[in-house]
């Protein structure tokens, strides 16, 4: 199985093959408009503007499974993101990333790069608590622990890294830049 074997729905419900992104560096993110990490949209958009001409794409998948922080329709979410953060990267249909109805794409990504923790510090300890409470309902199908988990896919279609929302966005940017120079 490869990342390019997956098909997803765009925000209008049209099927999109990830094969369309073959040869590009991808950052695949589950997002939410009402989350404490929602400001990540700003550095994500900055990265997109800086790197898209070098073959970089961000694939944004809204998800409402974490404290109902992505309410609204795909159009409402898209309008929020474009008006508040000026996002231009592709935004797809709202999905589940955990449980019986989890997106096969996110189940695959999480199997390739499993959760290793939120890191150290007070924010990490708080996230451990929130994620544990939220993910009890999903058992062994709790693939993603919170909003704004990011998966980096290299030009060969390999899942190269996973970044939890507590990872500094400068570190995410550095990993993207490094992946772009590898052919």
Give the residue extent of every domain in the chain.
Answer: 3-181
pLDDT at res. 20: 98
51 falls in which pLDDT band (50, 70, 90)?
A: very high
> 74 phi and psi, to 5 degrees?
-60, -40
For the stretch 22-46, what's the b/e string if a residue is b when 16 or more beta carbons lie within 10 angstroms of its beta carbon? Answer: eebbbbbbbbbbbbbbbebbeebbe
Class of domain 3-181: alpha beta
With a cut of 80, say whether residue 95 has pLDDT above it.
yes
pLDDT at 15: 97
Q: What is the pTM of this model?
A: 0.95
CA angle in degrees (0–180, nearest 5) for 63-148-88? 85
Say if residue 3's pLDDT is above 80. Answer: yes
The catalytic residue positions are: 35
Mean pLDDT of the chain: 94
Rounded-to-integer distance, Cα 143 and Cα 135, Å: 9
Alpha helices (H) along the chain: 41-51, 74-85, 104-112, 122-135, 169-181
């Amino acid at each position: 199985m490869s990342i390019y074997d997956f098909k997803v729905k765009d925000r209008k419900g049209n099927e999109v093959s990830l094969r369309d992104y073959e040869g590009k560096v991808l950052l695949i993110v589950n997002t939410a408009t009402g989350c404490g990490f929602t400001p990540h949209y700003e550095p994500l958009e900055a990265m997109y503007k800086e790197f898209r001409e070098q073959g970089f794409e961000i694939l944004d998948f809204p998800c409402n499974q974490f404290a109902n922080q992505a309410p609204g329709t795909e159009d409402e979410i898209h309008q929020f993101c474009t008006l508040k953060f000026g996002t231009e990267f592709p935004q797809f249909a709202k999905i589940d990333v955990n449980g019986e109805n989890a997106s096969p794409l996110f189940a695959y990504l999480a199997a390739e790069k499993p959760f290793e923790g939120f890191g150290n510090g007070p924010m990490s300890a708080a996230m451990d608590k929130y994620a544990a409470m939220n993910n009890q309902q999903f058992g062994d199908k709790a693939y993603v622990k919170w909003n704004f988990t990011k998966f980096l896919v290299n030009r060969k279609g390999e899942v190269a890294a996973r970044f939890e929302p507590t990872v500094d966005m400068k570190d995410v940017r550095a990993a993207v830049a490094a992946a772009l120079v590898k052919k």
